[in-house]
């Protein structure tokens, strides 16, 4: 089945540790996104990538890093510089043919809950 897969579902981070959240899609989408969800704050954009080997910061990029070496993969690293990493992280993708140029429908993964030990 085509879709977008996030792993792991739950992740725990120790103090000072970097952790990486995986996001893979087999929808042949060009664009991929990472959002952070906190209670009462909705979804906030961390990073997005419109095309392979290119990405842009979103509204809350500090303490995070990404790479886009392959079209189907957009991993997010939560670094030790992110002092409040506990949140629900959602990955999404969109591509041409799903709604038109720009503003395409987003397809979401089922999320990763990150907690600090």
Q: Which residues contact other proteins (rule: CB under 8 A)?
A: 33, 35, 40-45, 48, 50, 56, 58-59, 90, 92, 99-100, 102-103, 105-106, 108-111, 113
CB closer to other proteins out of 78 and 92: 92
Shortest Cβ distance from residue 109 to other proteins (Å)?
A: 6
Residues forming beta bridges with residue 56, ordered by sequence position: 48
Residue for token pair 């000072």:
16
Scan for tokens 């929808």, then name that residue.
27
Joined tokens for residue 94:
């969109």
What is the DSSP code (8-state) at residue 34?
E
CB of 98 to other proteins, least distance (A): 10
Residue found by looking up tokens 């842009």 in the block: 56
Minimum CB distance to other proteins, residue 36 (Å): 11
């Amino acid at each position: 089945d085509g879709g977008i897969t996030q792993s792991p579902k739950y992740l725990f981070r120790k103090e000072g540790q970097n952790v990486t959240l995986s996001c893979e899609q087999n929808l042949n989408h060009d664009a991929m996104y990472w959002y952070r969800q906190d209670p009462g704050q909705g979804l906030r954009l961390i990073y997005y990538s419109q095309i392979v080997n290119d990405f842009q910061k979103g509204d809350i990029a500090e303490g995070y890093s990404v790479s886009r070496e392959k079209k189907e993969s957009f991993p997010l690293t939560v670094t030790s510089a992110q002092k409040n990493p506990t949140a629900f992280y959602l990955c999404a993708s969109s591509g041409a043919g799903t709604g038109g140029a720009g503003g395409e429908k987003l397809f979401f993964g089922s999320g990763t809950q990150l907690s600090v030990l």
